[in-house]
Amino acid sequence: MCTGRIDLAFVLRALSKGAAGVLIVGCRINECNYTTQGNFYALSMVSLCKQLLLQIGLNPERIRIELISGGEANRFAEIVNDFIETLRGLGSLGASEKIDKAELESRLEAVTKLVPYIKIQEREKLQVKLQSKEEYQSLYSSDEIQQLLHEPISYYIDPNKCQACMICAKRCPVGAISGGKGLVHIIDQEKCIKCGNCFQVCPPRFSAVTKLSGQPVPPPIPEDKRAIVRTKKKAD
């Protein structure tokens, strides 16, 4: 019922399942039938999605948003016909971009994995209400946002600081942290969705979780070196 309900993940799923493009049609700005003004979210999401498509080498014209009224039947038909023509020109997903199927799948999978991270960034930095597609496009093309999208952060547990309190493993929503009693905890970077919970819950006296941006994550320490050896303090 509302374009605000269309999640970035839905669009990426449509493309992963073979759609050549996605057209979103909703109400005009400031003509929301409810009080939600969801079309602002949709405009923002489409601008973000265009940046992500560019990042993985796909033509951003493959996603489009149009805001029209329910009474504009002719305009609706024109928009649909025009979008179909655009997609015919571009061909199936990856065709005009010269990306083969396996590579395309892997790029879409990689960008889909970033969705939770992107949502956190959206919540923190991109909750702004602008008045037009152009303003959203300009926001998402800014250097700061480009850096956010191109250099997503990673989380790493410093083996020299981890005290195996196990809090982070309990709070990880995707089971990406392995550990156990007396063992240095390790983040599986393949599973991690970069939600940042571990960073927030690691007790400050340990501060074992580090946030890395634009730099490689050090390799995990080997299994046989994960036991934490605690030395007893001498009594005075």
> Which residues contact residue 154 at a Cβ distance below 8 angstroms, ignoring those fewer than 6 apart?
189, 192, 194, 211, 212, 213, 217
Is 114 one of the binding residues for ligand SF4 (CB under 6 A)?
A: no
Mark residue 193 as left, alpha or beta (left: phi above 0; alpha: psi -120 to 50; beta: remaining): alpha
DSSP alpha helix (H) spans, the chain: 8-16, 38-55, 73-90, 101-113, 115-125, 133-140, 143-150, 167-171, 197-201
Six token digits for residue 137: 């496009």
* Consecutive H or E run containing 179: strand 177-180
Is 166 one of the binding residues for ligand SF4 (CB under 6 A)?
A: yes
User: Which member of 27, 93, 192, 220 binds ligand SF4 (CB under 6 A)?
Assistant: 192
Residue 219 Cβ vs ligand SF4, minimum distance, rounded to whole Å: 16
Q: Based on CB atoms, which residue is closest to ligand SF4, 60 or 152?
A: 152
Is 185 one of the binding residues for ligand SF4 (CB under 6 A)?
A: yes
User: Which member of 193, 210, 212, 221 binds ligand SF4 (CB under 6 A)?
Assistant: 193
User: Which member of 86, 163, 178, 210 binds ligand SF4 (CB under 6 A)?
Assistant: 163
Residue 217 Cβ vs ligand SF4, minimum distance, rounded to whole Å: 11
User: Which member of 12, 24, 149, 209 binds ligand SF4 (CB under 6 A)?
Assistant: 209
Residue 117 Cβ vs ligand SF4, minimum distance, rounded to whole Å: 9
Q: Hey, what's the torsion of the CAs at 51, 52, 58, 62, to 10 degrees?
A: -70
Residue 184 Cβ vs ligand SF4, minimum distance, rounded to whole Å: 7
How far apart CA 184 and CA 197 sit, in angstroms, is: 18
Listed ranges 74-82, 89-97, 159-167, 213-221: which one lies at the site for ligand SF4 (CB under 6 A): 159-167
Nearest alpha carbon to residue 59 among 30, 86, 32, 25: 86
User: Which member of 9, 54, 56, 165 binds ligand SF4 (CB under 6 A)?
Assistant: 165
Is 40 one of the binding residues for ligand SF4 (CB under 6 A)?
A: no
Q: Based on CB atoms, which residue is closest to ligand SF4, 3 or 197?
A: 197
User: Which member of 174, 217, 227, 228 binds ligand SF4 (CB under 6 A)?
Assistant: 174
Name the phi and psi angles at 139, rounded to 5: -60, -45
DSSP notation for 100-166:
-HHHHHHHHHHHHHTHHHHHHHHHHH-----SSHHHHHHHHTSHHHHHHHHS-EEEEE-TTT-----
Is 15 one of the binding residues for ligand SF4 (CB under 6 A)?
A: no
Q: Based on CB atoms, which residue is closest to ligand SF4, 29 or 171?
A: 171
Residue 210 forms beta bridges with which residues?
Answer: 156
| Residues found near ligand SF4 in the complex (CB under 6 A) | 155, 157, 162-168, 172, 174, 176-177, 179, 185, 187, 192-198, 202, 206, 208-209
